[in-house]
Amino acid sequence: MNTIHSFKVDGIAGGMIDFAAFAGKKILIVNVASECGLTPQYQQLQELYEEFEDKITIVGFPANNFGAQEPGSNQEIQTFCSHNYSVTFPLAAKVDVTTHPVYQWLTKKALNGVQDSEVTWNFQKYALDEQGRLVHVFPPATSTLDDVILDWLNV
């Protein structure tokens, strides 16, 4: 079965994010947006990243798929995240979650081997284990600091 570790994506500031580099860590993939009611979750994501940096990496995927809530350019998004939330976890270049290869893999059981899902709104969270396999999908409204995520992280 294919794992997330086979993917490389463009980083928001250039360069590549190579998921193989995260082997041995849990990964939380989140589609993010700067003008959403859930945007304050950036702060929770950053707190989780800082507290558990040895166990997890978070990769944000800016996307303008829901409510046109991420209209900015990559540079504008990066500036917003840095200035407002001091984001240091990796951010991919802006994507369309309906067509991007990582999201095709995350949402199709035929590719991920676990389950079909649909990205329903900004800040949906995909949890992957240390081997790069999909293990959970958390709804957008689930706080990054919710017990269900902290329990997963501490397993």
Q: Catalytic residues, which ones? A: 36
Distance separating alpha carbons of residues 90 and 96, to the nearest angstrom? 17
CA distances from 126 to 71, 75, 97, 117 (A): 23, 25, 13, 10
What residues contact 40, with CB distance under 8 A and at least 6 apart? Answer: none
CA distance 11 to 51: 23
